């Protein structure tokens, strides 16, 4: 993720990123360095599968560290208090009902890094997230889905 675009995170999401980066730089780096040292101690590294595996792990580790550092550099913490309370915005939770059914769904609108649709956390860049942003209780939104158009009525904003 080499972008200078803002990365929207909740305060909780920002903390998780910081914790992962801390773990990778203080614990995991040492573990991988030890794996490399152990493999080198076995002798000839030209045909040493353990050495190759450790170097591959090191490459993935350093790539993830760079990715997390870039995320933190571009992080913008979602400030719900800066948004009108009656409007759907990043960080807000919304309860919607599919029009024509009794089916209600609760979504929390988050940045794409924190999206977890199975747990009701949808990205502001997803079709539903985009459609909901800026809307108010009582309004309806139409979302184009692979199965066709779905119309949601906004019941509550938390």
Higher-confidence residue of 99 and 48: namely: 99
Higher-confidence residue of 45 and 153: namely: 153
Which tokens belong to 133? 């942003």
Q: Answer whether 86's CB lies under 8 Å from 136's CB.
A: yes
CATH number of the domain within which 38 lies: 1.10.287.180
- Token look-up 């929207």 returns 8
Of 27, 56, 77, the residue that ends a domain is: 77
Range of the domain at 141: 80-157
pLDDT, residue 18, reads 97
Give the integer Cα–Cα distance in Å for 126 and 80: 19
Parallel/antiparallel/unpaired status of strands 93-98 and 104-110: antiparallel
Question: Are residue 62 and residue 107 in the same domain, yes or no?
Answer: no
Question: Are residue 107 and residue 141 in the same domain, yes or no?
Answer: yes
Number of domains in the chain: 2
Give the integer Cα–Cα distance in Å for 111 and 76: 10
Alpha helix segments (H runs only) across 8-155: 11-23, 29-41, 49-74, 127-132
pLDDT, residue 1, reads 45
Could you tell me if residue 1 is inside a domain?
A: no
CATH number of the domain within which 120 lies: 3.10.50.30
Give the integer Cα–Cα distance in Å for 22 and 28: 9
pLDDT at 68 over 90: yes
Question: Are residue 126 and residue 139 in the same domain, yes or no?
Answer: yes
Q: What's the number of CA atoms in the CB half-sphere (13 Å) around residue 157?
A: 22
Sheet strand arrangement including 93-98: 121-123, 104-110, 93-98, 148-157, 140-145
Looking at every residue in the chain, the average pLDDT score rounds to: 92
């Amino acid at each position: 993720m080499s972008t200078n675009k803002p990365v929207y995170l909740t305060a909780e999401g920002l903390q998780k990123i910081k914790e992962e980066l801390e773990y990778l730089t203080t614990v995991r780096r040492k573990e991988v360095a030890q794996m490399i040292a152990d493999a080198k101690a076995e002798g000839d590294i030209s045909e040493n599968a353990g050495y190759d595996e450790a170097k591959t792990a090191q490459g993935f580790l350093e790539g993830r560290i760079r990715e997390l550092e870039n995320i933190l550099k571009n992080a913008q913490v979602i400030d719900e208090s800066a948004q009108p309370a009656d409007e759907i915005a990043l960080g807000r939770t919304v309860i919607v009902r599919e029009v024509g059914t009794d089916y209600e769904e609760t979504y929390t609108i988050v940045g794409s890094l924190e999206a977890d649709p199975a747990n009701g956390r949808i990205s502001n860049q997803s079709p539903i997230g985009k459609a909901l942003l800026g809307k108010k209780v009582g309004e309806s939104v139409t979302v184009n889905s692979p199965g066709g158009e779905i119309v949601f009525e906004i019941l509550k904003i938390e």
